[in-house]
Amino acid sequence: MRLKIEAIDGQLLDTQNDYKQIAELHRERKRLNDSVVSLESLVSRHKMLKELIDIIDGEDAGIDDDIKKDWLSDFKDFFDKLEKFKITTLFTGSDDESSAFVDINAGAGGTEACDWVSMLARMYSKWATENNFITSIVSSQNGEVAGYRSITLEIKGGFAFGWLKFESGVHRLVRISPFDSKSKRHTSFAGVKIYADNDKNTDITILAKDIKIDTFRSSGAGGQSVQKTNSAVRITHLSTNIVVQCQNERSQIQNKEFAMKMLKAKLYDLETSKKSADKHTAFTEESENEWGSQIRSYILQPYQLVKDYRSNFESSNTTGILDGNITELLIKNLEVL
């Protein structure tokens, strides 16, 4: 890592680099330097604990029980920090440090699919809250009976995108439908798209002639904080047909600004996906939310199983995963994909 930092320092001395490249180099240098500092701290801590082990081996009978408890606590803290450091080494993408937007759209399955969207939104929201991220609903379109036809979440915090980037794809649910009076088993689908919310998006220029802006009345949960006037904003990017909308801000101006931010994030994602040869990150909006295209299945009946078809992660704890306990699954995908 030190050699990489030295190489970056050399590149920063090259005045021919443009400001965008310089900013990217500084960002990468900081990431590497933070890793070096963390690693040096762990090495120092490991040396100290090794000395403690030698003391324990030589003088076990004469050591007070309270001191032993303190040392055990030190060992646990060290291994916890070591595990966290190992996870940070998995975040190698240039956008991994960013916050994230999460789009979830209902696919085949009717009302079941809309309810499935709400279940996935809850899963990601609970995981984010448990891991100290800030989550908010940016926009949503309610289903006719239950759930959402579509919903967009903003998950703010360092490395939110890095954690969630491999969640993009089609998610399949199999269960006894609570909306079926005959209690038949149903299969439904929802498409998830994760894209980075970072300052790189500000480099994208969007001209007035490139977009169509519509306003409409906010809907969905929100109580008094959601305005009843036509404050919600929908922006369509004409050449790509990308559509974004925002309804969570208090004014039309704020919603428009936030929608433009989301549009830039999507255009940036489209640009980087075109450049990437990685089949895992180049997920497209055109992926069909139906059988055969799923990245993961959540089977609740006749048995319980969550299976990711890319990393081969499996768990029978479907309740826990749908309650947001997905960290193990996310780490497995980061290790494999």
Instruction: Determine, yes or no, domain membership for 46.
Output: yes
Confidence bin at 20 (pLDDT 50/70/90) = low
Same domain, 42 and 174: no
From 88, 123, 143, give the residue that closes a domain: 88
Same domain, 26 and 166: no
34 vs 20: which has the higher pLDDT: 34
| pLDDT of 16 strictly over 70 | no
| pLDDT of 163 strictly over 70 | yes
Confidence bin at 291 (pLDDT 50/70/90) = low
From 66, 88, 110, give the residue that closes a domain: 88
| pLDDT of 198 strictly over 70 | yes
Same domain, 57 and 113: no
| pLDDT of 21 strictly over 80 | no
How many independent structural domains does the chain possess? 2
Handedness of CA 239, 235, 156, 295 (dihedral sign): negative
Instruction: Give pLDDT, residue 27.
Output: 67
* High-pLDDT (> 70) share of the chain, %: 86
From 65, 88, 111, give the residue that closes a domain: 88
Same domain, 47 and 105: no
Instruction: Give pLDDT, residue 290.
Output: 59
- Residues 44 and 56: their CA atoms lie apart, in Å, by 19
Please confirm whether the linkage preceding 178 is cis (ω < 30° from 0): no
Which range marks the domain in which residue 195 is found? 99-199+276-336
The per-residue pLDDT for range 259-290, each reduced to its tens digit, is 999 999 999 999 888 877 444 444 444 456 65
Average pLDDT over residues 159-182: 96
Instruction: Give pLDDT, residue 10.
Output: 76
Instruction: Determine, yes or no, domain membership for 243.
Output: no
List, as own/partner pairs, every contact residues 66-71 make where C-beta atoms lie below 8 angstroms and the sequence separation is at least 24, other chains included.
none
- Residues 98 and 113: their CA atoms lie apart, in Å, by 29
Question: How many CB atoms are closer than 10 A to CB 139?
Answer: 26
Average pLDDT over residues 239-268: 94
Question: How many CB atoms are closer than 10 A to CB 73?
Answer: 10
Instruction: Give pLDDT, residue 229.
Output: 63
| pLDDT of 227 strictly over 50 | no
Instruction: Give pLDDT, residue 15.
Output: 55
| pLDDT of 145 strictly over 50 | yes
Which helix H or strand E contains 111, and what residues bound it? helix 111-130
Same domain, 118 and 153: yes
Which CA distances in Å does 154 have to 20, 100, 102, 282?
Answer: 25, 6, 6, 21
| pLDDT of 333 strictly over 60 | yes
Instruction: Give pLDDT, residue 58.
Output: 64
Backbone angles phi, psi at 148, to 5 degrees: -130, 140
Average pLDDT over residues 138-142: 94
CATH number at residue 192: 3.30.70.1660
Instruction: Give pLDDT, residue 207.
Output: 94
Same domain, 42 and 159: no
Same domain, 26 and 70: yes
Provide the 3-class DSSP secondary structure of residue 322: helix
Question: The tokens 């595990």 sit on which residue?
Answer: 83
* Weakest mean pLDDT among 145-149, 163-167, 279-283, 332-336: 279-283
| pLDDT of 94 strictly over 90 | no
Same domain, 162 and 285: yes
Question: The tokens 């929100």 sit on which residue?
Answer: 222
Average pLDDT over residues 169-196: 95
| pLDDT of 31 strictly over 90 | no
Same domain, 56 and 174: no
Instruction: Determine, yes or no, domain membership for 285.
Output: yes
The per-residue pLDDT for range 55-83, each reduced to its tens digit, is 777 665 566 777 778 878 888 888 888 88
Which CA distances in Å does 96 have to 91, 194, 197, 282?
Answer: 6, 11, 10, 15
- Residues 164 and 128: their CA atoms lie apart, in Å, by 10
| pLDDT of 139 strictly over 80 | yes
Same domain, 161 and 55: no
Same domain, 30 and 135: no
Average pLDDT of the chain, as a whole number: 86
- Residues 88 and 75: their CA atoms lie apart, in Å, by 20
Confidence bin at 244 (pLDDT 50/70/90) = very high
Confidence bin at 189 (pLDDT 50/70/90) = very high
Instruction: Determine, yes or no, domain membership for 136.
Output: yes
Which CA distances in Å does 104 have to 113, 167, 171?
Answer: 11, 11, 10
* High-pLDDT (> 90) share of the chain, %: 55
The model's pTM: 0.80
The per-residue pLDDT for range 164-174, each reduced to its tens digit, is 999 999 999 99
